[in-house]
């Protein structure tokens, strides 16, 4: 009997690709994607616990699911991902209607856990067992998808003072390179031409396992037939090496964009966060990247209001932004996480003060984003189509090599994934243009 599953994904790209894997696993157990909650038999929340707000969002979603579950006999609720890993059995104390709790190392067990739950069990599986057998499953791919995410590693060994990730994802484990290249080949055979390589710290790929180093992995992937774009994230500024930087001038399918999270610009705060690089070293890598690939786009993450951050420290963050002029960034107010070093630190910044700093930072980023977008106007850029434009379905939406969103009017109704688009204007967060007419 075919049943329907509705998956809601919170958090980062690691969760997105895991959700696509869960979908593929559930497909083998006769589950198909549900269009909405009302026709679902199973709801699966793939959760995040990076900040307190993320936790709250999930508990509130779980609150709504209590009523949904009562709507029809036999409906099931499963909770996976980082919050499930963190809370374990305690999650069910707050939300007794949850049928399955499964952690970040239990993805491959999902079909078994589901059978247990259908038989009236209430399984909880949250051991950080190091199981990576879910990597054997090709993540679910929508028909006609031109871009796909490929896991290269899981977990993190860095233990930055504020961060829950190593606690909920476990230690770093790299995936065998042959398996990664094999997956990329399979994806290109299905029509994918862009891959995004994923890991919390891709630059330390393979070091523990004695695998080929990350730059060599990039070279091998670039040789797969049909690959037209390669991206990777996240790069740790300490581990991004000269060889990888040099690849931006060697591999022409490597997109001219890098996400290089600095978090803060003050030397003192960076040391207290345990990030393992200085501001000077970070800026040195930015300079080397610009030399290897003139015009490369940069994005970053910023964490504002870390314990002990003074106005002067914060000014150092703003000055890094002025110096780099990021194309875009994500910025967050520090949120203490249980079990991390920063949760025990003194010198907490008042929430109003931290919010005010965050606003100032976001205002500056908005100015830089607009400036970087405006610099694209008048250019003809190659756009990888992602789908219809949200505001106007007669137009298409896609991304430039430097990762900017473009809405544009197509000249034909063809299905080509790559289009040459003339950029006519720049908005606050995206570009607008028209597909160039073919010559001749």
Omega before residue 60 within 30° of 0, cis: no
Q: What is the Cα gyration radius of the chain? A: 22
Among 5, 6, 7, 15, binds ligand F3S (CB under 6 A): 15
132: partner contacted, choices ligand SAH, ligand F3S, ligand SF4, none (Cβ within 5-8 A by kind):
none
User: Strands (DSSP E) along 319-415, which ranges?
Assistant: 328-333, 380-388, 396-399, 405-409
159: partner contacted, choices ligand SF4, ligand SAH, ligand F3S, none (Cβ within 5-8 A by kind):
ligand SF4
Among 201, 203, 317, 328, binds ligand SF4 (CB under 6 A): 201
Which one of 18-26, 78-86, 160-168, 373-381 is the stretch in contact with ligand SAH (CB under 6 A)?
160-168
Alpha-carbon separation of residue 423 from 184, 258, 324, 326 (angstroms): 31, 22, 24, 20
Alpha-carbon separation of residue 424 from 271, 309, 419 (angstroms): 44, 42, 15
Is 236 one of the binding residues for ligand F3S (CB under 6 A)?
Answer: no
Is 81 one of the binding residues for ligand SAH (CB under 6 A)?
Answer: no
Alpha-carbon separation of residue 241 from 197, 284, 288, 299, 301 (angstroms): 17, 11, 10, 18, 20
Name residues contacting ligand SAH, limited to 249-278 (CB under 6 A): 261, 263
**Which string of x and - marks every residue 167-186 that binds ligand F3S (by CB under 6 A)?**
-xx-----------------
Among 5, 50, 91, 349, binds ligand SAH (CB under 6 A): 50
DSSP letters spanning 130-169:
---GGGGSPPP--TT--EEEEE-EE--S---TT--HHHHH
**Which string of x and - marks every residue 163-192 that binds ligand SF4 (by CB under 6 A)?**
x-xx--------------------------
Is 337 one of the binding residues for ligand SAH (CB under 6 A)?
Answer: yes
Q: Which two tokens stand for residue 321?
A: 């932004």
Among 9, 19, 147, 200, binds ligand SF4 (CB under 6 A): 200
Cα–Cα distance between 318 and 315 in angstroms, integer?
Answer: 5
The contact set with ligand F3S (CB under 6 A) reads: 11-12, 14-15, 48-50, 81-82, 164-165, 168-169
In the complex, the residues that contact ligand SF4 under the rule CB under 6 A are 156, 158-160, 163, 165-166, 200-201, 236
């Amino acid at each position: 009997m075919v049943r329907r599953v509705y998956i809601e994904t919170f958090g980062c790209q690691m969760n997105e690709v895991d959700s696509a894997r869960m979908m593929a696993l559930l497909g083998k157990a006769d589950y198909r994607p549900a269009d909405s909650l009302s026709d679902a038999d199973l709801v699966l929340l793939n959760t995040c616990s990076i900040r307190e707000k993320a936790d709250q969002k999930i508990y509130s979603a779980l609150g709504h699911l209590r009523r949904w579950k009562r709507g029809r006999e036999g409906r099931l609720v499963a909770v996976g991902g980082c919050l499930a890993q963190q809370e374990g059995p305690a999650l069910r104390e707050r939300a007794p209607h949850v049928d399955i709790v499964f952690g970040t190392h239990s993805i491959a067990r999902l079909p078994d856990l589901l059978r247990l739950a259908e038989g009236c069990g209430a399984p909880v599986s949250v051991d950080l067992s190091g199981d990576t057998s879910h990597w054997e499953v090709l993540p679910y791919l929508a028909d006609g998808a031109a871009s796909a995410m490929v896991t290269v590693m899981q977990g993190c060994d860095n233990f930055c003072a504020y961060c829950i990730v190593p606690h909920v994802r476990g230690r770093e484990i790299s995936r065998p390179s042959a398996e990664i290249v094999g997956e990329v080949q399979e994806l290109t055979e299905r029509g994918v031409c862009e891959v995004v390589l994923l890991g919390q710290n891709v630059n330390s790929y393979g070091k523990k396992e004695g695998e080929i180093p990350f730059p060599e992995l990039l070279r091998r992937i670039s040789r797969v037939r049909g690959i037209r774009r390669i991206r990777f994230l996240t790069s740790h500024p300490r581990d991004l090496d000269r060889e990888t930087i040099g690849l931006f001038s060697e591999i022409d399918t490597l997109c001219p964009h890098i996400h290089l999270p600095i978090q803060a610009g003050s030397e003192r705060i960076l040391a207290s966060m345990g990030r393992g690089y200085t501001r000077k070293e970070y800026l040195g890598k930015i300079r080397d990247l610009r030399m290897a690939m003139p015009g490369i786009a940069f994005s970053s993450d910023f964490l504002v209001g870390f314990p002990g951050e003074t106005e002067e420290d914060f000014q150092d963050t703003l000055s890094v932004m002025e110096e780099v002029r990021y194309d875009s960034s994500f910025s967050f107010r520090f949120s203490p996480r249980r079990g991390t070093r920063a949760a025990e630190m003194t010198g907490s910044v008042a929430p109003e003060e931290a919010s005010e700093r965050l606003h100032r930072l976001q205002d500056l980023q908005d100015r830089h984003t607009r400036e970087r977008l405006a610099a694209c106007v008048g250019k003809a850029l190659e756009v990888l189509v992602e789908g219809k434009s949200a505001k106007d379905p007669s137009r298409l939406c896609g991304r430039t090599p430097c990762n900017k969103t473009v809405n544009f009017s197509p000249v034909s109704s063809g299905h080509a994934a790559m289009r040459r688009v003339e950029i006519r204007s720049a908005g606050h967060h995206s570009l607008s243009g028209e597909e160039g007419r073919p010559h001749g």
